A = this chain, B = another copy of it.
């Protein structure tokens, strides 16, 4: 069948419960966004493709006058999802602009890398805050929701800590300009 990971995100999201495109987007933003995001520009066309492939089924479910289509997973779709889940995952290489900037920071005076590390750390700390807010919701669900959420929190904590340590290392090595 050969579907993109994003297609499986959608498949997974409708396998839990019937959802509209709009609701899938909201669910992604609340859960998988931190390791796999998706935009409307992907979701709606993909729902159409999955529907044509018979892996999901669209059902009219208007709310009042407002048109609305929710999708459910078909038996074929569920089989496809399970097959994929049992296949070993690909190692996706990460992209992190901050590390890139640090890598090339040799062309600047060493202290000039400190703001980069600070900015990186700040972003990670903010992310941790947002992830922690999600913990109550995830605790109610299955083991795996909580597991990946904790992965997100732990990863960002490690990263924030690394930034702090590297900042200290730079400042230790730097000439004590302030002591004049």
Contacts and interface: CB of A to CB of B under 8 A. Distances in A.
Given A91-B127, A144-B106, A170-B143, A84 B96 contact: no
Interface stretch (A34-42, A43-51, A54-62, A63-71): A34-42
A2 interface: no
Contact of A154 (B88, B100, B158): B158
A103 B144 contact: yes
Interface string A161-178: 010001001100100000
Chain A contact residues: helix, strand, loop or mixed: helix
B144 A105 contact: yes
Contact of A95 (B81, B85, B92, B100): B92
B37 A100 contact: no
B123 A107 contact: no
A53 B96 CA distance: 26
Nearest to A12: B104
Nearest to A108: B85
Interface residues of A, number: 66
Contact of A106 (B100, B104, B142): B142
16 contacts: A5-B95, A5-B100, A34-B93, A35-B93, A36-B95, A82-B107, A85-B116, A89-B97, A89-B101, A89-B119, A91-B98, A91-B123, A105-B144, A106-B143, A106-B144, A154-B162
Given A94-B94, A106-B141, 16 more contacts: A5-B100, A12-B103, A15-B104, A32-B99, A36-B99, A36-B100, A78-B107, A82-B107, A85-B112, A86-B108, A89-B96, A89-B116, A89-B120, A92-B96, A106-B144, A113-B144
